[in-house]
Structure formats: C-alpha cells, structure tokens
Structure 1
Amino acid sequence: MTDRRLRAGDLIHVTTAASVQFRTPIMFRLIRVLDRPTFDGWLWLDGYQTNDAGDATARRQIFVQPTGLRKLLPR
C-alpha cells in the first residue's frame, strides 16, 4: 500500500503481511497515524477493530508495516 497515503476513516484489512501478530486477520477503521518513534518501515495506527458489518468492536493501537496493509472500498 505504498502508493496511497493512509487517511482517517480508511477501512483496512490487516493480516500477517503487516505484522505476525495478525495471524487472524482483522478489519481496522483508522482514526490517525500516531507520531511515535518506530523502526524504519513500521507505523503505529490508532483506530477501531470492526466486525464484518463495519461496526466498531474494540479501540486499538496497532504496530504494522504499511506495505502489508490493504485498503478496502467503502460499503
């Protein structure tokens, strides 16, 4: 996902391609990219994990490689 910037409101599919902690993939609604020091090529994201209907189920901060994220189209 290097060709598009992450924006508030984006719905993102997060899998092991973004981080090994997501062995079970999640859908994530982005609030913001956090300004925290990280390793090169990694980001902290703040947002909500969503269910299949798009409803927020948990607020989370996740540590991921943006190249492994996939933006989903709005429903």
Structure 2
Amino acid sequence: MTADLFVVDGRASVQFAGDRALTFRVVSVCDQPAYAGWIWLTGYVLGRRGEATAKREIYVQLAGLRPAAAAPAPRRARGTGSYAARRDQGDGGAARDRSGLCARADAR
C-alpha cells in the first residue's frame, strides 16, 4: 500500500457507511487468505485532531479504500508549567524564604 492513512466508509464496507466512516492509519496488513478483493487491516482509528483513539482490525474491500489527507500531528496537552518553576513547590525555594507559606496564610 502506497499510503498508510485511509478514509474507510461505505465504499470499503457497509459497516462503515454514513456516520460510521472513519480515518484509519494502517500498521499491518494480514496475509491470511480472504475473499477476492477483500483484506484484513490492523491499525488505529484517528480522531479529528489526528490522535489515535482506538486500535482495530477491520475487514474491507481494497477497491473501496481512499487515501486520506494527512492528519494534523497530535498536539500535546498544554501544561501550566513545571512544578520546579512555581515558588510554592518543587525546588525548596518556598521553604527557604517561606514566601509560599506567607501568601497562603494571608489569603485566609
């Protein structure tokens, strides 16, 4: 297979018709015999943002597979910063100058 990212819809199998269509990243092709024109694929269902949401094995018609546009790279969750960067945790600075403790006591 030249592309490893496909749109799997009703053309590939009736079980993927309509709102059951999915974008599928193929990781392996089974060499087990199947009916002529059909194939077993193992891979990952991709969400709208390009992240893998489930690993599946699907049985589809090879002629019904369509290459999908490249999915965007999954985005990492945006963090609030490392613990060491905060004055009240991590690096011991708050324990030395007690600024984190004072701020909490003043807030009460």
TM-score, normalised with respect to structure 1: 0.84
Confirm whether residue 16 of structure 1 aligns to residue 20 of structure 2. no
CA RMSD of aligned residues (A): 1.2
TM-score, normalised with respect to structure 2: 0.60
1:60 is matched by which residue type in structure 2? R
Query: Larger Rg: 1 or 2?
Result: 2
Which residue, out of 23, 45, 49, partners 1:53? 49
**Unaligned regions of 5+ residues in structure 2, if any?**
73-108
- Superposed CA deviations along residues 13-70 of structure 1, whole A, max 9, x for unmatched, are 0001000110210010110111112101100000001101110000000000011111
Which runs of structure 1 show a deviation greater than 6 angstroms over 4 or more consecutive aligned residues?
none
Q: Which has the higher strand share?
A: 1
Which residue, out of 5, 26, 38, partners 1:30? 26
Aligned to 2:79: none
Identity %: 43
Q: Partners in 2 of 1:70 and 1:47 — Cα distance? A: 15
Q: Partners in 2 of 1:44 and 1:28 — Cα distance? A: 13
2:9 is matched by which residue type in structure 1? T
Report 1 or 2 for greater relative contact order, CA contacts < 8 Å, sequence distance ≥ 6.
Answer: 1
